[in-house]
Each structure stands twice: as structure tokens, then as C-alpha cells.
Structure 1
Amino acid sequence: MGQYPGNQYPGGQYPPQTSMPWPYPVMPQGGYPGAMPNGRGAYPISPTPHSKLAAGLLSIFLGCFGVGNFYLGRTGRGVAQLMLTLIGFPFFFIGPTIAMIWGLIEGILILTSSAGSFWHRDARGWELTD
């Protein structure tokens, strides 16, 4: 409790029911206490970590549809791969071939990545489990 720039409360104090300003400057690790209806507990920030093996295999085998990127939360890349496959299909399979090569390379990079690298993280920046 103390001063916070732009505080709207008199005396610079937060209201008694909160200890941090709203919106929170950072997410607490345990989630937001009491955020679930009927007091069922804290709202989880990440329900489960993503698997490196699953992400790599999905990228290799279903990469032309963007499944590996959708799994990791990179929806923009997933949509790009899917659109490349769907739009490029009538044009002599050029689009799907490019998307398959893209997925194959991404899958190999994910499977061979080490902790801390870009390919060893999901879209939120969480490390993949080995």
C-alpha cells in the first residue's frame, strides 16, 4: 500500500479491499484469487504447459494446416499456413508444398531447440516441457 502515480483515491491509499491498483501491473503467479464464480478458487493463468514433442510432431505431420502453431498459440502463423494451403491448392500444389516445407522446418527447429531459445517457447513465452 502506498503511492501509485495517477491514484484516484484521497491520500494516495488504495481502497481497503485491494492491495494492488487495478488493472494489475503484472499477473500474479497463482492467478486471480476469487475470479472464478461462486468462490471456486483462483483463475489459472496457464492450465497446462505445452509439450515440445507434441508441438514438433504436429508441425512435421500437420504443418501444412498450421496445427503446430495453433497448438502453441501462434494463431497468426497458423492461419497463414492454413491459407497458403487452401488458397494455393488450385495452383498446382505450390501453396501446400511451401506450407509443408515450412511446417517440416518448424517441427525440426522445435524438436532440436534448447531451453531459452525462441523455438522452445509458446506464444505466451512459457517454456515447453521436454
Structure 2
Amino acid sequence: MLGTILSYSAQTGDGIISGADGQRYAFRSADWRSEVEPLSGRKVDFIGTDGIAQQVYAVAAAPMEKNKLVACLLAFFLGTFGIHKFYLGYNAAGLIMLLVFLFGFIALGIPSVVIGLIALIEGILYIVKSDEEFEAVYVRGKRAWF
């Protein structure tokens, strides 16, 4: 049966799956059969009996709609203008970065330098995260800053 992980605790090794039949199934880390981590929102295939999920496998995810390398390069080269924010769909954050950079020169350029450092740090954060973590945090999780 197909389903989606609703929650998972690495500390306890317990999780909950929402099955395609509308039921919820509990699973333990011992039932996890894939190499990737069980993350909330991950699509899975499992055998469900009496509210327990067994032999839980991650289903190959659809291609990411946002590429972390593109986001990283935009942050490095055009980040002071907030272009990487616009690419990830954070229009308000992108507009804030753009306006602070442009009007920052009025205050001796210090705000513009700070925006440049923020963009550099974000570019580094994007590239060091795995593809799954990048998607979970910045695409599905909608985390606009750091």
C-alpha cells in the first residue's frame, strides 16, 4: 500500500504513516527498509495490517521543482539583489533583500554589505545540504531565512 509519513522521531524510532486507504499506521525504525531517512512528507510503500506498517520502503520522489545548485549560484552571484529568494518563491524576502541593498548605500553601504554576507551564508548553506534536506527545508518547509 502507498502512503505518506506524517511524523517520525529519530529518538524513539517511532513514526506514523497515512495510508492511501485513509487509515493511519504506526511503524518502528526496525521496519524501515530504505537507505534514506524516514522524513515527514516522504512517500512510502508498506504492508499495513491492524494499524501497523511493516516492510516500509521509501518511494522514489518526483524530481525537485527547485534545484539547489541553481539556488546556490544565484545566492553567490546575484544574492545581494535577492534573486535566489525569488527563485525559491520567497517574494517578500527577495524584495526585502533588494530594497535593503539598494537603499543601503544611503547608510554608508553597511546594510548592503550585511545583505551580501547573508546571501553568501545562504549560498553556502544551500550547497552543503543534501538534496533531500534542501527540499525538505527550503522547498516543502518554506524556510525563507537561513
Q: For the superposition of Structure 1 and Structure 2, which TM-score range results when normalised by the shorter chain?
A: 0.5 to 0.7
Larger Rg: 1
Q: Normalising by structure 2, what TM-score?
A: 0.48
Say whether residues 1:65 and 2:81 are aligned partners: yes
Aligned to 1:79: 95
Which digits, 9 at most, give the CA deviation of each residue in 1:2-31, with x for residues without a partner? Answer: xxxxxxxxxxxxxxxxxxxxxxxxxxxxxx
Question: CA offset at residue 86 of structure 1?
Answer: 1.5
Distance change (3 Å), C-alpha of 1:54 and 1:118: closer
Q: Which residues in structure 2 correspond to 1:1-130 (within 5 Å)?
A: 49-117=65-133, 121-125=137-141
The 8 Å contact of residues 52 and 120 in structure 1, kept in 2 or not, is answered as: no
CA distance in 2, matches of 1:95, 1:70: 20
Which of the pair is proportionally richer in strand? 2
CA distance in 1, matches of 2:125, 2:85: 13
Task: Structure 1: state its 5+ residue gaps.
Answer: 1-47
SS at match of 1:90: helix
Task: Structure 2: state its 5+ residue gaps.
Answer: 1-63
Question: CA offset at residue 72 of structure 1?
Answer: 0.5
The 8 Å contact of residues 73 and 124 in structure 1, kept in 2 or not, is answered as: no
RCO higher in 1 or 2 (8 Å CA, sep ≥ 6)?
Answer: 1
